[in-house]
Chains A and B, each alone.
Chain A
Amino acid sequence: MSRDLSLFRFPLVGPAAWAVITYLYLPIVVLVALSFNAGDSALSGWNGFSLRWYAAVAEDHDMLRALANSLIVASVATTAGTAVAVLAALGTSGARFRRQSAFEAMIGLPLIVPDVVAAIAMLLLFVALGLPLGLASLMLAHTVFAVPVAYLPIQARLQGLDPSLGEAAADLGAGPATSFRRIVLPLIWPGIVAGAMLAFIGSLGDVVVSYFVSGPGATTLPVYVFSMVRMGITPAVNAVSTLLVAVSVTLLLISYLLGRRFR
């Protein structure tokens, strides 16, 4: 049945929504535009188009090392966190079980505890255990946050799965391993990809936790940018920030398009 959509249009709501969307994008657009500004200071007005600050980023070895650290940490944390999340999602699928809500509360805990609190708590643990702060501590900390972020889309995907598919596979003689590999995995794959990408973006963007648990030699890119911004702003910050925006947007678009293709 087709509905008269005009019944659901409300006065002023459309313009208000467009104003909010503009508000969401305006700062990002201004940032991206300023990253191409030729001027010597982030404070100066428009001095013409230039890629010089991107060149400056490419030559800043500390920054490149921070970028490499970020990518290594995000890759490891995403892989570990997603693997744990897939198992957890499989474990919570199907009939409800005892203490399910307690388990779900626990898996959501990293999203509830403020990052400042989680960060200092982990810092205390690493210090108490005598674990040196560095890439390893960063990977562990980021994995904790990757688990719930990856769990939610995977679990949503599993919930939409028709249980009779597994039964049909079993009827046709597939063992649990075959049934998982040939039936379940391909069907939840978009959820896994989406979850992994969100975990990756989250790890790549994290400032607070990394700020506390990274040692002196293991700065991540956001922590590096954070200290750059606080010490005094050079236009190179605009360039590297724009690159970070580009990475998130690209990953999100891939995740969106994959989701559409598999739907």
Chain B
Amino acid sequence: MIAAGRRLSLIGPAILVIGVLLVVPLALMAYVSTLQRGDDGGVIWNLHTADAYVQFLYERDLFDQLALNSDYIRIFLRSITLSAVTAVVTLALAFPTALWMAFQPENRRPLLLLVVTVPFWTNLLVRNYAWVLMLRNGGFVDWVCQHVGLASAPIDILYTPVATGIGLVYSFLPFMILPIYVSMEKIDRRYIEAAYDLGADRWRAIRRVILPLSIPGIVGGLILVFVPCLGAFVSPELLGGAKSMMIGSLIQQQFGQARNWPFGSALAFVLLGLILVALWLHAVRFRRASSAQP
């Protein structure tokens, strides 16, 4: 039993580090999003305005009237769509992989886990750069397609949303495999044997026993893929083109070339809000699911 004072001295440093270096900065970011932009970039620290949020929806036209502007909304919608597609594709790839791993002999599983974890811990930048080499004209994918006769001309994938999607799926696939594997590994094998005894074939055993029991892992995986995808920066920057910008690059642009900190902060804040909503929906769903099972 740890006394409260001693406990605080143990967890205090963590509270301090994350509080001072993350929670306070996030609050500051929210504050900056309400400030007036400075003329030379930066902000005017005590001049408040809603400009940043207005700019998200409207633009000023030649006559200084506010006109609805869908550019930024479109970037957000594109990010949400691309993240959702990525989550679904990773699920389709991860499910059979996790299923196969979870039902391998017990002594082989740690090694298989290592095999799927190595790419996950390999530098994200390097992994996405490797896809630049794969997808470029004359790159590996192009070469293979032309040699097996799938394509007659060089194929242009790089710098399209498809390339971004490939990069995202590749980056986040282990996030999907691992939680599904964990739920499947926990499934009591007797349930599956019982299903066979009751006349189920293998597909039915997967569909009626394994799939429902892996739902927590699947939902966890969907969240673990969807959430970081929304804020992804490296894949869209390296593999996507100017026409397929995502939220992360938009925010970076506001802090870089555009030098509009309040707007950049507002965008970051909206992104954070989206993520909190996704997590909250997950928590609500999860609580309902766990209270439904006695």
Contact = CB atoms under 8 A, between A and B. Distances in A.
Nearest to B115: A21
Contact of A31 (B26, B110, B124, B133): B133
Contacts of B4: 97
Given A109-B18, A226-B125, A245-B123, 17 more contacts: A7-B196, A12-B96, A17-B97, A20-B93, A20-B96, A80-B17, A88-B13, A91-B11, A106-B19, A114-B231, A114-B275, A116-B233, A121-B22, A121-B268, A205-B121, A225-B126, A256-B110
Interface stretch (B49-57, B68-76, B248-256): B248-256
B255 A123 contact: yes
A34 B133 contact: yes
B136 A43 contact: yes
A238 B123 contact: no
Nearest to A16: B96
Contacts of A80: 17
A118 B110 contact: no
Contact of A120 (B7, B29, B138): B29
B14 interface: yes
Contacts of B284: none
A27 interface: yes
Given A120-B264, A120-B265, A245-B126, A252 B121 contact: yes
Interface string B118-137: 11011111110111111010
B137 to A, nearest CB: 8
Interface of B: 1-2, 4, 7-8, 10-15, 17-19, 21-26, 28-29, 32, 42, 93-94, 96-97, 99-101, 103, 105, 110, 114-119, 121-127, 129-134, 136, 138, 140, 170, 173-174, 177, 189, 192-193, 196, 202, 206, 227-228, 230-234, 237-238, 247-248, 251-252, 255, 261, 264-265, 268, 271-272, 275, 279
B132 A201 contact: no
A241 B231 CA distance: 24
B234 A88 contact: no
Contacts of B170: 23-24, 27
B129 A237 contact: yes
B22 A113 contact: yes
Contacts of B119: 24-25, 28
A229 B14 CA distance: 36
B64 to A, nearest CB: 30
B125 A13 contact: no
B192 A7 contact: yes
Interface in A216-263: 222, 225-226, 229-230, 233, 237-238, 241, 244-245, 248-249, 251-252, 256, 260
Contact of B25 (A115, A122, A205): A122
Interface stretch (A57-65, A143-151, A181-189): A143-151
A101 B118 CA distance: 31
B133 A124 contact: no
A13 B11 CA distance: 45
Interface in A123-166: 123-125, 127-128, 140-141, 143-144, 147, 151
A238 B130 CA distance: 8
Given A17-B101, A27-B131, A205-B123, A151 B275 contact: no
B15 A103 contact: yes
A23 B50 CA distance: 47
A174 interface: no
A71 interface: no
A172 interface: no
Given A27-B130, A103-B15, A256 B114 contact: yes
Contact of B18 (A87, A93, A125, A147): A147
Contacts of A252: 114, 117-118, 121
Question: Which of B105, B115, B126, B228 is packed against the most chain A CB atoms within 10 Å?
Answer: B126
